[in-house]
Structure 1
């Protein structure tokens, strides 16, 4: 073992070290490190967890990438998806594609004696990914996704259910209008109530049978208004979108879920800035405190420095001793910070202690993303940054004269 590291361990774990004047400053240094780790862990895990949760909620409801007809002109009323150049089988065969589902959407109004609500009726067929949708269900079941006949079951959001005073098994009339035609009335039964916490979805969308939407839109059997493509990993959406776009034909186009709700993406972008800002602040606080610890230790142990120089230790060796000593002091703070931080995050992950207002945050519970890489990176990053920041103040040791240091009391 090298002399500086050996000597650092001896003085760091010495019993005599517990009653000296540096005890309070060492405690403050460890406390600052522990708090820095706790705040950093919570910031990174909840920030990244929120970004991931919001993106997944958007994508799991309406598809990571949606294929639409250019004739729809961004309207909620679907136009017939062109089959020219559309290669669904090749899209399904892409490595990152999990599944696809067809749909037809049409705008309308739900009305009863209590109230009315503007809605987007999204008709789904036999390829509807009911398992993926179940995570949003809070009551009832998903509609029967069949393309045979006209199933009257619909799934509405909790927001619409509250506005219209509806519950599962209640009936409701929907009114759809088309240009130059009389209004079309349809009677539905509420079979399920869902909640995504994303206002733009919960305020508008209801899920029902595709044949109702086809009939209203004047489409034939087998015709669809769009295809939702679900990916295995939402982080690959920017890479996969161009590949899918090449397989939809020139009469159709693709829309990423991250582009369909730009206001939400602008909100998510704030997380990156906040995470970076808080991490920088925590690093600055930790570095200032650790540098203060080093300087106090140097002043307090001036006599020891003089003795080491007299015995032949070089300035570089003594500096290494004190830098190692200071870093060893940090380790208990890092351990305690990780234990407390991870303990709090695990409680939040499995019990959802902290709630949010979905009207403002698009989530009802603070989500947690426990990524081992980030957890280790925070602790190692603090150690590395602290070690680098200690190099300059450690040069104070070279200014200490052995003769004067030995006399120093």
Structure 2
């Protein structure tokens, strides 16, 4: 029989072994553990959820990986994508690739009697992933592209619609200019309004038919300016990019969505620092409170320590009794902390009670990512770190004399 564990259970689950002081101390210890678990769960789940949501919004709009011509020179206006060495069928056959879509981009201006807005007209083809785009729509629908003739329907952002006082079915004139040429005017009909909450996208992009963009750029019918590649899992983007880069030809190159908007990635990196800092602070608070609980329990049970030593128990056995006892006191705090924390997270996940300013945070609702491994790891981590932290203060027991302890009152 494991004597320290057996004795710990006896005193931990006895109903008659707690005076008023120990009840208060035990309550404080459990409360600190519960708060530590709640704050840690919320911090990790919302932090990881925010990182994932922002990355997915960037990638679902413009592709996880884009293939561009090296002649484009980072311009908003697409250059013709070279077919030399471009193995699109092999790219589509990669296990992590979900879909691809071709496009041609050209910069221009939308103008009406109310205002004007600088835009990037992204012309997409019949392979446009409208189902993936649908999550961004706030009104209307995505342009229906057949690549037969010129489709005049466009989808603009809510920001552009507000600035230009546009609504569904309104007409708007776009102006495109090319070097040494007269401006080109095109009249479009607004068929959809979208919102990504990412300022760099919502301020600029207009989705329309690829043939308009080809005409403006002087491209032939089969020529394109780039390819958006959508992956099944954005977490594989760093591993998949080199594989795709080998299949695009030497005249083209690949760019990750996470590299297209470095300022957003810098913002996302802050989440890792905040998560680590908050969890560290909460862990320190929990450890301090649990050590306090242990020391007060030792002082309160000085007579019992003397009696155990008189009966032959070693200092090591008695230390383990009190460490086990303290850890058992923590268990209700862990249970209630997980229940309350998970309840809050599920409410936020399905009802979106807490909102954010998208201009500052790139998302309008606090997202939640619930991961069972992370939940279990938090509780186990608190238990293990607390157990290790209790070892040193438990050595106070070895300083207690059996004779003086039995006389202690």
Give the TM-score of the pair, scaled to structure 2: 0.99
Q: CA RMSD in A?
A: 0.7
CA distance in structure 2 between the partners assigned to 1:67 and 1:238 by the alignment: 15
CA shift, 1:387, in A, is 0.3
Question: Which residue of structure 2 lines up, in the alignment, with residue 184 of structure 1?
Answer: 184
Question: Which residue of structure 2 lines up, in the alignment, with residue 91 of structure 1?
Answer: 91
Question: Which residue of structure 1 lines up, in the alignment, with residue 44 of structure 2?
Answer: 44
CA shift, 1:19, in A, is 3.1
Aligned residue for 1:22, secondary structure, equals: helix
Question: Which residue of structure 1 lines up, in the alignment, with residue 137 of structure 2?
Answer: 137
CA distance in structure 2 between the partners assigned to 1:145 and 1:262 by the alignment: 31
CA distance in structure 1 between the partners assigned to 2:237 and 2:362 by the alignment: 21
CA distance in structure 1 between the partners assigned to 2:21 and 2:172 by the alignment: 77
Mapped pair 1:194 → 2:194: yes
CA shift, 1:316, in A, is 1.0
Question: Which residue of structure 1 lines up, in the alignment, with residue 229 of structure 2?
Answer: 229
CA shift, 1:22, in A, is 1.0
For residues 7-86 of structure 1, the aligned pairs below 5 Å read: 7-86=7-86
Question: Which residue of structure 2 lines up, in the alignment, with residue 333 of structure 1?
Answer: 333
Mapped pair 1:289 → 2:286: no
Is the CA contact 1:103–1:123 (under 8 Å) kept in the aligned structure 2? yes
Name structure 1 gaps, 5 residues minimum: none
Name structure 2 gaps, 5 residues minimum: none
Mapped pair 1:391 → 2:387: no
Where has structure 1 moved over 6 Å in runs of 4 or more?
Answer: none
Aligned residue for 2:185, secondary structure, equals: strand
For residues 246-325 of structure 1, the aligned pairs below 5 Å read: 246-325=246-325
Aligned residue for 1:17, secondary structure, equals: coil
Is the CA contact 1:17–1:23 (under 8 Å) kept in the aligned structure 2? no
Aligned residues: 409
CA distance in structure 2 between the partners assigned to 1:84 and 1:240 by the alignment: 21
Aligned residue for 2:282, secondary structure, equals: helix
CA distance in structure 1 between the partners assigned to 2:317 and 2:245 by the alignment: 62
CA shift, 1:139, in A, is 0.5
CA distance in structure 1 between the partners assigned to 2:87 and 2:51 by the alignment: 32
CA shift, 1:20, in A, is 4.0
Aligned residue for 1:167, secondary structure, equals: coil
CA distance in structure 1 between the partners assigned to 2:146 and 2:407 by the alignment: 93
Question: Which residue of structure 1 lines up, in the alignment, with residue 347 of structure 2?
Answer: 347
CA distance in structure 2 between the partners assigned to 1:247 and 1:210 by the alignment: 24
CA shift, 1:14, in A, is 1.0
Question: Which residue of structure 2 lines up, in the alignment, with residue 147 of structure 1?
Answer: 147
For residues 111-130 of structure 1, the aligned pairs below 5 Å read: 111-130=111-130
Aligned residue for 2:78, secondary structure, equals: coil
CA shift, 1:302, in A, is 0.4
